[in-house]
Amino acid sequence: MVAMPEKKSPPGGLASRKIRVLIAKPGLDGHDRGAKVVARALRDAGMEVIYTGLRQSPEQIVAAAAQEDVDAVGLSILSGAHLQICKRVLELLRAKGSGGVRVFLGGIIPAQDIPLLKKMGVAEVFLPGSSTQDVIRLIESSLPVR
Amino acid sequence: MKKVLEEKPAESPPGPHEVPFTTISGRPIEPLYGPDRLSDFDYARDLGDPGQFPFTRGVHATMYRGKPWTMRQFAGFGTPGETNARFKYLLENGGHGLSVAFDLPTLMGRDPDHPLSLGEVGKCGVAVTSLADMETLFDGIPLDQVSTSMTINSPAAMLLAFYIAVGEKQGVPQERLSGTVQADILKEFIAQKEYIFPPRPSMRIIVDMIRYCTEHMPKWNTISISGYHIREAGSTAAQELAFTLRDGIEYVQWCVEAGMDVDSFAPRLSFFFNSHSDFFEEIAKFRAARRIWARVMRERFGAKNPRSWMCRFHAQTAGVSLTAQQPYNNVVRTALQALAAVLGGTQSLHTNSLDEALALPTQEAATIALRTQQIIAHESGVVNTADPLAGSYFVEKLTSDLEAEALEYFRKIDALGGMVAAVERGFPQREIQEAAFQFQKAVERKEKIIVGVNEYAMEEKPFPILYIDERASEEQIGRLQTLRATRDNERVRQGLARLQQAARGRDNLMYPILDAARAYATLGEMCDALREVWGEYEEPPVF
């Protein structure tokens, strides 16, 4: 995993700390263009971004989310495995007591799966053509005010 | 879907007069090109007639009058039985060749019951776990009557072995098999990221396979050196050109260093490019590719056979350019991109379906994609003469500029110690990542307009797509369990042990791979045997 260089808690403590986001590529797919563009845009917007690298299991992603104490997890899935993977990640987050972490999904997702994903607990699904400004705004607005 | 378009972007968009006149790759374009742009231009040196060195105008003298391009559409989904039915449908309806799309567990050398295969089996392509699946995939299709292209890279040698073994069972000797395995591992490290082993042992498998095919399979194209995925990952046109051809140089270099005569294998090398949206830049890219490769092969490697000098290539229209919004617009995008590939002199072409940004294609969408090529071939008239844009001040200047930019990248990569060394240091990966980010910023600033996305958006109805469920996964795992219970497991164990022994030494890996394949060792078992010897590659996760 790699963290951005200036990864430090600001002096104001938790109340003013930056939003922390884990960007993860689960499954076997290697198409990482979207994950990397989003990771960089979130970092440029002042968030602390940790990128897992490729082919992470749901177990590895949830362990990284706990270890890095993130507010949100962004999953990038283009292969069609999103239902199985999101279900497992959300179950594991709840089991580990990290149920408050917001989970976002980006990729090629059939419209008919979006209600299922939201019911499962995915906070938002970003489809091709989404702007990074939109991703930033939705992550900011979905987190509790602090 | 969210209404992303009604939000004001963070930076206000420039007015029309401020938008730079650049290609999609960010290359500035002048208002007018005249003879002064080609002051040192020499027809014989820089173009030559079609079929003549340096092949800028095409690899054949008569181009499409003599031989039309091959319309080769990529297909694969679900179980081997389902894809076999689709293949038969395609052949019965006039298709000449097959092009196999494999699922991610197959591409990554994992059996369908591996934990990382969760949700992936049969989704992006067909699942092929062992020789038994390959037998089903080609059941009733005589391998001496079709040519088959297989998009497979890290485990290319294993899938080729399965194919050879199916031929043996059909009574077709390997000398008569024709087709291609993609087998371009360098672009996996650079762009598509479906690698298994570290770069150097990965290169060894490819060299062993090229040697094997050169000795035993005269009709087989050994490798398809690919820029398609480099471009899809976000590279510019010049980066696609440079990295692809530099990958080609790397393969030739490794084969020559392994003791092979350049003219023994170079005629069977082939290329695969993206045909993107910027019409003239793409045409210039294809023309530059042929000129660069001809000069490299003759001058850098001393190749004497004219066939070794020819950059023969397949093209595919740009999947990344297609939008989930207003999907019918994608038919127009694909038609323009396909026209650029034809004007650029491609040998074969895949046109993407209009639902590419949503799912795998429905049969209807795939049919429109094929019809697009047929309309260009039969109605547009562009096939009547070879390289019709030659001599255009603009196209010739662009061709030369792209060539110069690619040669500059060659110098940088040579200075890093070659492409394997450059990949290990993340050089091409970083260049592509930066270009992808800059393009996204340009779109968000509206310097680049994507119709239906950041301009001309509208309310839309749901669009019907092909939906693939979990049934293929269950079926595939069931077939695997039956195979493990019925094959000769002692023979499999011995075959895998011999594969590991060869991997530790220097013997050609194709022979033990073929023996293990014939014994019905699975793809996952063979790859695991090699993972134990070589380890798995993990790239540093930088962004």
Looking at residue A11, its pLDDT comes to 46
Does B144 contact A at CB distance below 8 Å? no
Contact assignment for B541 to A112 by CB distance below 8 Å:
no
Of A83, A108, A132, the CB nearest to B444: A132
Chain A, nearest residue to B111 by Cα: A28
Centroid of chain to Cα A10 = 22
Of A51, A82, A132, the CB nearest to B543: A51
Which residue, chain included where needed, has tokens 């795939």?
B366
Does B232 contact A at CB distance below 8 Å? yes
Residues 6+ apart with CB under 8 A from B36: none
Instruction: Calculate the CA dihedral of residues B326, B327, B329, B334 and round it to 10 degrees.
Output: 160
Q: B152 near B102, Cβ under 8 Å? A: yes
The Cα–Cα gap between B265 and B215 comes to 9
Residue A1 confidence class, pLDDT cut points 50, 70, 90: low
Q: How far is B321 from chain A (nearest CA, A)?
A: 10
Contact assignment for B104 to A28 by CB distance below 8 Å:
yes
Centroid of chain to Cα B367 = 21
Looking at residue B539, its pLDDT comes to 87
Strand order in the sheet with B313-317: B70-71, B348-350, B313-317, B269-275, B223-226
Contact assignment for B120 to A35 by CB distance below 8 Å:
no
Give the total residue count for chain A: 146
Instruction: Calculate the CA dihedral of residues A36, A39, A43, A45 and round it to 10 degrees.
Output: 110
Does B356 contact A at CB distance below 8 Å? no
Looking at residue B226, its pLDDT comes to 97
The Cα–Cα gap between A129 and A119 comes to 23
Query: How many contacts does A have with B, using Cβ atoms within 8 A?
Result: 139
DSSP state of A103: E
Dmax over CA atoms of chain B, in Å, equals: 74
Residue A146 confidence class, pLDDT cut points 50, 70, 90: low
Cα B30 to Cα A111, B51, B65: the distances in Å are 43, 31, 34
Selection from B450, B352, B304, B357 nearest residue B75 by Cα: B352
Chain B, nearest residue to A81 by Cα: B119
Chain A, nearest residue to B10 by Cα: A133
Chain B, nearest residue to A39 by Cα: B543
Name the pTM for this structure.
0.92
The Cα–Cα gap between B302 and B310 comes to 14
The span from the first CA to the last CA of chain A, in angstroms, equals: 27
Q: What are the tokens at B471?
A: 């049934």
3-class secondary structure, B275? strand
Which residue, chain included where needed, has tokens 């949206």?
B277
Q: How far is A42 from chain B (nearest CA, A)?
A: 11
Q: What ipTM was reported for this prediction?
A: 0.85
Q: Outline where B445-520 has alpha helix (H).
A: 471-486, 489-504, 510-518
Q: pLDDT tens-digit profile of B12-71?
A: 555 555 678 999 999 999 999 999 988 888 999 999 999 999 999 999 999 999 888 988
Cα B183 to Cα A35, B156, B251, B527: the distances in Å are 26, 5, 11, 15
Looking at residue B396, its pLDDT comes to 97
Contact assignment for A30 to B543 by CB distance below 8 Å:
no
Question: Which residue ranges in chain B fall short of pLDDT 70?
Answer: 1-18, 94-95
Q: A85 near A27, Cβ under 8 Å? A: yes
Q: What are the tokens at B323?
A: 């939008």
Q: What are the tokens at B346?
A: 């491609």
Chain A, nearest residue to B8 by Cα: A133
CA geometry: angle at B509 spanning B268 and B125, to 5°? 65
Selection from A84, A124, A121, A81 nearest residue A106 by Cα: A124
**In three state form, how does the secondary structure of B72-128 look?**
CCCECCECHHHHHHHHHHHHHCCCCEEEEEECHHHHCCCCCCCHHHCCCCCCCCECC
Radius of gyration (Cα) for chain B, nearest Å?
23
Q: How far is A128 from chain B (nearest CA, A)?
A: 6
Q: B203 near B254, Cβ under 8 Å? A: yes
Q: pLDDT tens-digit profile of A73-111?
A: 999 999 989 999 999 999 999 999 998 999 999 999 999
Contact assignment for A33 to B234 by CB distance below 8 Å:
yes
Looking at residue A141, its pLDDT comes to 92
3-class secondary structure, B324? coil
Looking at residue B10, its pLDDT comes to 46
Q: Outline where B427-470 has alpha helix (H).
A: 427-444
Q: pLDDT tens-digit profile of A41-76?
A: 999 999 999 999 999 999 999 999 999 999 999 999
Give the total residue count for chain B: 543
The share of chain A scoring above pLDDT 70, in percent, equals: 88
Residues 6+ apart with CB under 8 A from B469: none
Residues in chain B with CB shorter than 8 Å from the CB of A106 are none
